[in-house]
Chain A
Amino acid sequence: MEFYLYLALFAPLAGSLFASLFGASKKNLIAGLVPSLLLFTSFVSSTILLVHILSGGEAVHVEMMTWMATGDLYIPFGFLVDEVSVTMMMVVTIVSTVVHFYSIGYMDHDKAFNRFFAWLSAFVFSMMVLVMSDNFAGLFIGWEGVGLCSWALIGFWYHKESATWAANEAFIMNRIADLGMLIGIFLVYWNTGTLQYNEAFAAMPSLETDVLVWTGIFLFIGAMGKSAQFPLHTWLADAMEGPTPVSALIHAATMVTAGVYLVVRANPLYDMIPEVGIFIASLGAFVALFAASMALVNRDMKRIIAYSTLSQLGYMFVAAGLGAYWVALFHLMAHAFFKALLFLGAGNVMHAMHDELDPFKMGGLKKAMKWTFIMMTLASVALAGIFPLAGFFSKDLILEVAFIEHHYVIYSVLLFTAGLTAFYSFRLVALIFHGEERYKLFGVHPHEAYKFMLIAMSPLLLLAIIAGAFKMTYFEMVTAVLPATEYHVHSAMTYWIMTIGTQLFVILAIAYAYKKYANSNVKVPDGTSKMENRLCYKILSNQYYIPYFYEEYLVKPYRELSAVFWKQVDLKVVDATVDGIANIIYTTGEKTRGMQSGNLSTMLKWMVVGTVALLTLAVVFGLAVRYSVEINAILSALGVK
């Protein structure tokens, strides 16, 4: 099995290196094909490992070599394939294989085709390291590695200012969270003496709760950054500047779920600190609602999907925070499939529309792009959580978890958000595929994507539809390492009311979306309509003014403070002090050089003056010594001594 582990891990790296050989040369199909095939190999290996695990095999654990060892610290490159990581490996390899093949078509006309594949495969490698590592440091390697690749891929079209800006934003914001993660790792090390998962978690029960709470919090801060949880969420929407396959792979299916993975992986820790878990769940619920609300009014296709991703990540955190780790992981998996599908569909639309992103400028595309239409609709249905697609099984389960754990506020929020989710998803579908063909105003001639791209997407479609069926198999497998809590509403009555109620609510929201946006009255908004001038619309469309706030109150002050530090403090205070000391010495010289007037008379006077001054001192001192008794008497009389 070790062979397959290494194969799964290093095939993407090989692909990346291969593609980077062609990095600076012209587009070369082979630079896309080879990495894709290698990824497929990786996928196959992962599948073999999955089968191995499913068939009751032991977790595969290898230690490749030492990375760092000093003092008591020992960090190997160790890899672990257990039930949790194999799930992640499957998700990662499936989605990335699909995305790779899809990208061969999508990036067809791009000059930097080869570079794209180099980075994309590198990303997969980093992600594999992240999920397969058996220790926190290895996790951190992957963690930062995906950050790097994400940076390079968001800023892939580096000539665009917005793209590079978004790339840097993503990187820096992730770094803020990474600091938390790093501190969390330090805490783990200094309290347990190791960074290996199994040893560290084994040592944790004997630690003080305070320490555990802090560790949990700091690790979660790391997770917040990668999974774009509030308040570190702004980068995700901006990250949509990258090529769409990147969004599908990184910003929907894999990287952003790393945070969830981390919490799931650290479940022994979080189990011991339920108060942090509740915080995670609450934040998750908040983000679910918060992101969904922003998706309601957004006019950028990819951003809508990105907010949707954010919202779904919130759901996952609710599950993870409430201790239902396997549920979180299950939703993570299901979400990866249908969200990647949705993104790739959006990619097709973008291609067809020459990179137009405003769904209001599309409409009626279902004729031109039948398959895309079907796929996106199904993906949206899955996202909305309608029976029997994947979303139903995974998302409704989270609602149930919240209900069963008696977190009714969270439950209500999630339920409401489910309605919003359905609404904005179908608002998007309706705007793109139904109604008038508004794109004609802009002189675009849409066409369906390459057939092989559609075929490449099909596995995702399939999985989006049927993933729910594996729920119990999955449960049995993954609970070998995760807490095996089954979530069943106690009374069947309540269960059915909840389920049907939820379904009805969601369907109503879809219907409303269709009613509002699938008709021929939809116009391209021009900022004059009543709705657009409502306060709440403005707040939502400006993302609660949070990016504005960040720009005005963090970025600008930072920039200005930097300038002040340089020009005012560094140059005018610190450096000027140093130069000032030198200048004082120098000017003292200039000022006193008059003493050396060159006039003999003056010179003689200096000599005499010096002598007389010394004489005076001598006389004073001599008298003081001679009359010291008297002086002391006088002084003591005066009360000095």
Chain B
Amino acid sequence: MMEITLNHYLVLSTILFAIGLVGVMRRKNLLMLFFATEILLNSVNIAFAAISHFYGDLTGQMFAFFVIAIAASEVAVGLGLLIVWHKRHGNIDLDTMSTMRG
């Protein structure tokens, strides 16, 4: 069986990041968009953990913890905004948010 090396983790992380990016670009639903950004951050977490292990250094894991914490608070704020928007407009469609332009 093939050994799982750091590169595998990094590739996985990159793929997840790419998925997240595509999601960010494609999703018209605000909630789905938030999910996509979460994927972005978590892909980075995987990589951090792996690299941290690779170096035998805790910094990466610390970073990952902080990312998790920040992702959580981001979701809090994001959902708050989402709820207000939904209350006011009855939808969470991105295309409705374009009163300001030019």
Contacts and interface: CB of A to CB of B under 8 A. Distances in A.
Do A and B interact?
A: yes
A68 interface: no
Interface in B1-40: 21, 24-25, 28
A608 B21 contact: yes
A597 B98 CA distance: 7
The 8 closest A-B pairs by CB, nearest first: A598-B101, A598-B98, A599-B98, A600-B94, A601-B94, A593-B102, A605-B25, A598-B100
A598 B99 contact: yes
A604 interface: yes
**Main SS of chain B's interface residues?**
loop
Interface in A596-616: 596-601, 604-605, 608
B28 A601 contact: yes
Contacts of A601: 25, 28, 94-95
B25 A604 contact: yes
A604 B25 CA distance: 6
Given A597-B98, A598-B100, A599-B94, 10 more contacts: A597-B101, A599-B95, A599-B97, A599-B101, A601-B25, A601-B28, A604-B24, A604-B25, A605-B25, A608-B25
Contacts of A596: 101-102
Contacts of B95: 599, 601
A618 to B, nearest CB: 14
Contacts of B102: 593, 596, 598
B97 A600 contact: yes
27 contacts: A593-B102, A596-B101, A596-B102, A597-B98, A597-B101, A598-B97, A598-B99, A598-B100, A598-B101, A598-B102, A599-B95, A599-B97, A599-B98, A599-B101, A600-B94, A600-B97, A600-B98, A601-B25, A601-B28, A601-B94, A601-B95, A604-B24, A604-B25, A605-B25, A608-B21, A608-B24, A608-B25
A593 B100 CA distance: 12
A601 B36 CA distance: 13
Interface in A84-133: none
Contacts of A608: 21, 24-25
Interface of B: 21, 24-25, 28, 94-95, 97-102
Nearest to B30: A600
Nearest to A611: B21
**Main SS of chain A's interface residues?**
helix
A54 to B, nearest CB: 95
Contacts of B21: 608
Contacts of B98: 597-600
A386 B21 CA distance: 116
B99 to A, nearest CB: 7
Contacts of B25: 601, 604-605, 608
A412 B97 CA distance: 103
Contacts of A604: 24-25
A46 to B, nearest CB: 85
Nearest to A602: B98
B48 to A, nearest CB: 20
Contacts of A597: 98, 101
A599 B101 CA distance: 8
A601 B97 CA distance: 10
Interface in A563-606: 593, 596-601, 604-605
A594 to B, nearest CB: 9
Contacts of A605: 25
Nearest to A590: B102
Contacts of B94: 599-601
Contacts of B99: 598
A430 B25 CA distance: 109
Contacts of B100: 598
A537 B57 CA distance: 117
A600 B100 CA distance: 10
A600 B95 CA distance: 7
B102 to A, nearest CB: 5
B72 to A, nearest CB: 22
B101 to A, nearest CB: 3
A598 B94 CA distance: 10
A602 B101 CA distance: 11
A178 B79 CA distance: 89
A597 B101 CA distance: 5
Contacts of A599: 94-95, 97-98, 101
B54 to A, nearest CB: 22
A600 to B, nearest CB: 5
A608 B28 CA distance: 16
A596 B98 CA distance: 10
B29 to A, nearest CB: 11
B31 to A, nearest CB: 13
A219 to B, nearest CB: 71
B58 to A, nearest CB: 30
A600 B24 CA distance: 10
Contacts of B28: 601
Nearest to B101: A598
A605 B23 CA distance: 11
Contacts of B24: 604, 608
A613 to B, nearest CB: 13
Interface in A453-470: none
A409 to B, nearest CB: 86
B11 to A, nearest CB: 16
Nearest to B100: A598
A121 B48 CA distance: 105
A593 B25 CA distance: 21
B1 to A, nearest CB: 32
Contacts of A593: 102
Nearest to B97: A600
A600 B25 CA distance: 10
A604 B99 CA distance: 17
B82 to A, nearest CB: 12
B10 to A, nearest CB: 16
A290 to B, nearest CB: 76
Nearest to B24: A604
Contacts of A600: 94, 97-98
A295 to B, nearest CB: 80
Nearest to A598: B101
A55 B21 CA distance: 116
Interface string A442-454: 0000000000000
Interface string A600-641: 110011001000000000000000000000000000000000
A610 to B, nearest CB: 12
Among A596, A598, A604, chain B packs the most CB atoms within 10 A around the CB of A604
A597 B99 CA distance: 9
Nearest to A605: B25
A597 B95 CA distance: 11
A593 B99 CA distance: 15
